[in-house]
Each structure stands twice: as C-alpha cells, then as structure tokens.
Structure 1
Amino acid sequence: MSPRATVTRQGSGPALFAASKAKPFSRERGNPEATNGALRNAAPRSRANAWVWIGLAVLLALFLAMPAFAQGVPAPTNPAVGDAVDRALGQLGGQAAGNTGQSGSLSLSLQVLIIMGLLTILPGILLMMTSFTRIIIVLAILRQALGLQQTPPNQVLLGLSLFLSFFIMAPTINQINTTAIQPYAAGKLAGTQMITTAGVPLHAFMVKQTRVKDVTMFAQMAKSGPYASSLDIPFSVLLPAFVTSELKTAFQIGFLIFLPFIVIDLVVATVLMSLGMAMLSPTIISMPFKLLLFVLVDGWALTMGSLANSFAT
C-alpha cells in the first residue's frame, strides 16, 4: 500500500493527500543519505561538462590555426622604398638603395628623424632668409610709437608681415618654382640638385640686402675669403650677415617713424606743464593726436609702401 500524508489544518479537520510511490526526499540539512545522493548525481554531470569544454577549446584552436598554416613566406622588403625619403631629404639616396635590408631600414629611420627635426626649425629659417624680419620689427616699433600696447594685436601684425613678405618675395618664389620645384616634380632634378638650384635665387636676394661691412666681419670671424664675386659667399657667412643688416635697417626705419610722434609727445607735455597739469599723463592727451596724424597722412599705406620699396634696391 502506498504511503499517505496527513496535514492538519486549523478548523477544518485532517486532510489526506496521496504521496508519490518514490522514496520520500528528506529536506533536513543533516541528512547524509540526501547529501551522498546529490554528490553521486553531480559528479558524472561535471565530468561531462568538462570534456565538452575541452573539446570546444581544441576545435577553436584548430580553427584559428588553419589560416596560419596556409600563409606563405613573406616576400623580402625592397630597400629602394627609402628612395622617396632620400629624394625629399636630398642625400644618401643611392647608398640606402644599395645596402642590405637592415642597413636600408636604419638609414630610412635616420632620414625620417632628420626630416622631422628640420620641419620644426624650417619655418624659422625660411623667415630669417626673407623680408619678414625687417617688416615685423618696423610694425612693432610703429605700434609702440603710437602708444598702443595691444592694438593691432600680435596676430594682425604677423599676418601683415607674412602677406607683405609674400608680396616682396614673389619674384624670388616664382624663380625658385620655375628653376627648381617644377623640374624636380618632373623628375629632371635630384634632391640635392633641387636644393642647390633653389638656393641660388635666395642667395641673390640676400646679397642685395646685405651690407659689405657685415659680410666682411663674419668672413673674418670664419677665416674665409676674400671672395671673387658675391656668388662665392657661402650661406654660413651670408645668413648671419643678412640678419644683422636687416636688424640695422629695421631700427633705422623705426627711428624715422618714431620722430613725429616724439614731437607730439613733447608739445603735449610742454602745454600741460604750462597749464599746471603736471599730474596728468601726457600719453593720455597725446594719443588721440597721434592717431589723428597717422590717419590724416594715410600712415598704413605709407608704412607698407615704404617697406616694400626698401627692398627694391
């Protein structure tokens, strides 16, 4: 006969429920029979799961390794790839192409490093070799002579100097483009030849703006010369001489610009002293008169035109 369970409910009397024919399951925590049965059932199941995961891992490893087995031997790199960088740098082109792959890659890395280093200082070098130095100094002196500390701003002065420098250097830039850049782009000139050819117009421009006294001074310090013609002056001597001459010319032009504004300051200071207004700053009173004078004489046009004409000789 099957076992029966009796449940007593409050107020309703005993209720009988038929239990299953299976062996009753004990829910007590300390029952050793239930614990052993659970362990016996879980052990085979965990071993089966472990073998399934191991099989999946092996299949995944084989699947990932199949493309690697199918790859061929990579082709050796061509050292001649560095020729483009060699041409841009203008040196070591043929040597890098004729060396082994390791030396070629080392040469390529060295050339890239040199190019990146030159790119950081190249703008400053090019600006010092053009009319930019004289123009920016004159405009800065003009702003100070007017008594304006931040007007026009530095960005405006730099923009004016750059655009006026492009205007003044336009003939030289066109000559460089015609004689050096276009033949190099067409493959008619190598990198070193392009640099040498492009330096000729710049050399001629700087020689025209450099004083003989400055060239002689730096040539004596470098223990070189005398030179048969201006074309024989090396860039190592011409560059510092050109910058020195540009600074001197810029300060001379700045002095001439400063004179009329100094006169206005003196007149205003004298009038204020005669009126007994010694405590009043003459700069506050003289600034409107300076601006009025500068606008009436069309000062910006005169300044820009004078700077451009100063490079005509």
Structure 2
Amino acid sequence: MAKQNLIRLFSALLTAFVLALPMAAMAQDPASAPDPAAAPGALTAFTVTTNADGSQDYSVTLQILAIMTSLSFIPGILMLMTSFTRIVVVLSILRQATGLQQTPSNQIIIALALFMTLFVMRPVIDQVYTAAVEPYMEESMNFQDAIATARVPIEEFMLAQTRVNDLEAFMNIANIEPIPAGERVPLTVLIPAFVTSELKTAFQIGFMLFIPFLIIDLVVASVLMAMGMMMLSPMIVSLPFKLMLFVLVDGWNLVLGTLANSFGL
C-alpha cells in the first residue's frame, strides 16, 4: 500500500512538473504567451514553428513529450546499441563454465555489466555530451540538430564493432544497394548487424573461457572413474579446483580486461 502511494505521489509530481514548464517559459518570455485573439480551443502549448530556412522548431511541451517517450526505449538502446550485450553474455557463460548456477547472482552480473558498459562507452558518451547535449542546453542548437549530431558517435562505435559480412548479410536481406563511402548506414540494418556481431564475439570469448574448466572436469571425471567412484558427481569434486584455478590466475581481472580490450580500449 505504501509503495502504491509513493508511485501515485511520484506520478502526480511528475505531471505537475511537466505542466508547469510551459507556464514558467511564458513567465520568463512574455512574447511566448498565448495570443488572446487565437482561435478558441487552439492548443498553443503544442505548436510547431516553421523557420525561414524551412526547418521547424517544436514547442517545449512537444520536446518534453518526445523526451519522456524516449525513456521507454532506454532498455532497448542499452542492450542493442552499446557494449552491454557482449559483456553480459560473456559473464553469464563464465558463470556456467565455473559450475556455479546462482553465484554471482543475476543482479550482480547485470550491475557489473552496466558499469563495464559505462567504462567502455565513456569516450562515446563524452563526444555526445560535448557535441550535442551542451549546445542544446545552451540553446545554440535546436532539438533536431542535437539528435542528428548525437547519432554520429554512436553509429561510428557500432560500425567499428560490426563485421562486414554481418552488415552485408542484412543489407542483402533488406534489398539495399551498397552504400557509398561517407553515407550513413540505416539504423534498421546497422542495429541487427551490430547485435549479431556482438553475440558472435561474445560466444567466441565464452568458448575460450570454457576450455580450461572443461579440461578440469574431464580430468576429475577420469580420476573418479578409475577409482570406481561412479556414484560421486564429478561436478562436486571439480568445483573447488575450478574456483581455485580461477582465483590463482586472477580470473576476474583477466576477463574484464579482455572484454575492455576487445572494444579497442
């Protein structure tokens, strides 16, 4: 009950904040106040202004609506347009290779993958903030130009991590002609090609992680079979040896360092 009340309170505050922004803008700029002679029933808060050069500027309310709507796409953007996919898959395969089903827990793996994603994507985030966010906040760039500018570093990162054959495969599926140098690849083609390349790279790294643990399982199983202990599970005996090996070689440092280096850091 308390949780529901907190959610309702947060929703009410958020609604009041969104509705108060246009009023505050009109208070600071009297010229933006609605014209009394405007047509009755006109929604002056939802307006689109056409500039002399043909571009369009959207009202603050429409920009806020677009930003709030885009928040629902953040999980998809995080998983499909950043390094998160490769990192979380490799960490999940590592947990399976060690034989630990619930340790580390899913929450720890996801949290570690999130912070590793921030570490890997830091240069891209800095470029987006410098080239798009700061000019937009200083009102030296409109919303459309800021979005177009912010796309460039992200697309460059994705193209750098995408295999050519994966990109060509999805271009053939979409019946798109080869794109000349200097032109943008459509996101409808770039995103699936990027995700496919990330999954392939993650499985390659996971395969290399599996080999030493698999050798330990084979050796322990052979020794137990030779001793006639067929009723004893090899997983129980090999688990301490795999953990000891992983700790002695400083496994977490090696895995996370390899993941970072795989992105060219």
Unmatched runs of 5 consecutive residues or more in structure 2: 1-34, 49-54
Which one of 216, 225, 228 corresponds to residue 180 of structure 2?
A: 228
Residues 163 and 110 (structure 1), Cα distance of their counterparts in 2 relative to 1, 3 Å cut: closer
Mapped to 1, the partners of 2:63 and 2:154 lie a distance apart of 28
Matched, 1:279 2:243: no
Q: Provide the rounded CA distance (Å) in 1 between the counterparts of 2:128 and 2:44.
A: 28
Query: Is this contact kept in 1: 2:57–2:142, CA < 8 A?
Result: no
For 2:88, the aligned partner's letter is: I
User: What is the 5 A alignment of 1:272-311?
Assistant: 272-311=224-263
Letter of the 1:276 partner, please give it. Answer: G
Equivalent position of 1:23 in the other structure = none
Counterpart for residue 184 of structure 1: 136
Aligned residue number for residue 10 of structure 1: none
CA contact (8 A) 1:82 1:93 kept: no
Shift of 1:224: 1.2
How far did 1:162 drift?
Answer: 0.7
Following superposition of structure 1 onto structure 2, how do residues 61-100 of structure 1 map, counting pairs within 5 Å?
Answer: 79-82=43-46, 93-94=57-58
- Structure of higher RCO (CA pairs closer than 8 Å, 6+ residues apart): 2
The match for 1:142 is 94
Letter in 1 for 2:159: V
**How far apart are the structure 2 equivalents of 1:130 and 1:92?**
31
> What displacement does 1:268 show?
0.2
Unaligned segments of structure 1, at least 5 residues: 1-74, 85-90, 98-107
Partner Cα distance (1:109, 1:178) in 2? 24
Aligned to 1:211: 163
8 Å CA contact 1:172–1:201 kept in 2: the answer is yes
How far off is 1:81 after superposition?
Answer: 3.1
CA deviation after TM superposition for structure 1 residue 197, in Å = 0.3
Equivalent pairs, count: 222
Deviation for aligned residue 1:225:
2.3
- Displacement of 1:121: 2.4
Q: CA RMSD in A?
A: 2.6
Residue by residue over 1:191-239, the C-alpha shift from the partner in whole angstroms, topping out at 9 and shown as x without a partner, is: 1111110000001000000000011011111111211126431111111
* Distance in 1 separating the partners of 2:245 and 2:199: 27
Find the counterpart in structure 2 of residue 261 from structure 1.
213
Question: Secondary structure at the residue paired with 1:198?
Answer: helix
1:283–1:225 Cα change, 3 Å: same
Would the alpha carbon gap of residues 92 and 82 (structure 1) be closer, same or farther in structure 2, given more than 3 Å must change?
farther
Q: Distance in 2 between matches of 1:272 and 1:173?
A: 53
Residue 111 of structure 1 and its aligned partner are, at CA, apart by 8.1
Which of structure 1's runs of 4+ aligned residues deviate more than 4 A? 75-80, 91-94, 108-111, 114-117
- Corresponding residue number in structure 2 for 1:312: 264
Taking structure 2 as the reference length, the TM-score comes to: 0.77
Helix, strand or coil at the partner of 1:232: coil
Give, as a single letter, the amino acid of the residue that structure 2 aligns with 1:283.
M
Cα distance in 1 for partners of 2:157, 2:165 equals: 17
Q: Distance in 2 between matches of 1:237 and 1:227?
A: 12
- The normalised TM-score by structure 1 is 0.66
Q: 2:46, 2:62 within 8 Å by CA — same for their partners in 1?
A: no
TM superposition shift of 1:128: 1.4
